[in-house]
Amino acid sequence: MRSLRLLNFCAASILFLNFGGETLALVDETSEVDSAKEVSPKPKRQKKERPYEQDEGSLFLYAAPRFFENKKFGTSNNFGRFGIPEIGAKVGFFRTPFHLEPVIGFSFQLNSSDIVGNVEANYQLYQVMAGVRQYAWNSHLLPIVPYLEILPTYSIVLFSRKTIGSAAKINNNGGELGAWLGGGFTLSFAALNPSLRNELESIWNLKDYGVNIQAHYYPGGLLRSGSFGSLSTIRSWNLGGGFFINW
């Protein structure tokens, strides 16, 4: 009888040890899983890149006939009625979330009048500008993108009138501070052909390119200086176009 009790006790001990070991192993595995959950960080959601963040800069090259309202640069000095192309370049630095782009630029115009009798006049007009361009949307949305520009400008004018065959020459040089007000639209070739956009980006590191049409009005300036400033103003407007690239 005593031996039977001893066998039962041993069997119960063995069962207890087996069950307890499995329980401890289960607890250890559960704790390891919980610790792994606590240590492993959650994957961060990647921020989707917006189209405007890709356009980091732009270059506009243009030619635009300029028409002066003041007769000094028109019929009174035989400069003609149709204006002469003004050539220029404008560089944009980056595109903000609101499609605003800071811009700096430079333009130049040279014109000589017809010779009437023995008198000829000519002028050189240099302008530097810095302002902002506002796009309506990005070319990823539509290939035609309207825009507006406000470009404070400083103008330098070299005006001369001379008599042919004589040393007599009248110079009126000076400058003034003003602003170009206007805008236009761009037509994106890359937006019309997505495969071309990919090729431009992979080979030339360019985002876009196309043509640009623009029109501006210069209402006249302030802070005039020099002999030119006391005689005239360069109030005028232009209409023209050219090419642009975005990188």
Tell me what pLDDT residue 66 has.
Answer: 86
Q: What is the pTM of this model?
A: 0.70
Q: Which domain holds residue 96?
A: 54-246
The verdict on 42 and 71 lying in the same domain is: no
- 162 vs 148: CA distance, rounded Å: 40
Tell me what pLDDT residue 76 has.
Answer: 65
Domains contained in the chain, number: 2
The verdict on 112 and 6 lying in the same domain is: no
The verdict on 142 and 35 lying in the same domain is: no
Q: What is the CATH number of the domain that holds 229?
A: 2.40.160.20
The verdict on 133 and 196 lying in the same domain is: yes
Structure tokens at 126: 């240099």
- 100 vs 70: CA distance, rounded Å: 33
The verdict on 78 and 108 lying in the same domain is: yes
Tell me what pLDDT residue 82 has.
Answer: 66
Q: Give burial (CB, 10 Å; 0-12/13-18/19+) of 197.
A: buried
Tell me what pLDDT residue 165 has.
Answer: 75
The verdict on 99 and 130 lying in the same domain is: yes
Residue 191 identity? A
Tell me what pLDDT residue 52 has.
Answer: 47
Tell me what pLDDT residue 5 has.
Answer: 57
The verdict on 177 and 99 lying in the same domain is: yes
* Residue ranges of the chain with per-residue pLDDT less than 50: 6, 14-17, 19-27, 29-30, 32-33, 36, 39, 47-49, 51-53, 230
The verdict on 13 and 75 lying in the same domain is: no
The verdict on 223 and 184 lying in the same domain is: yes
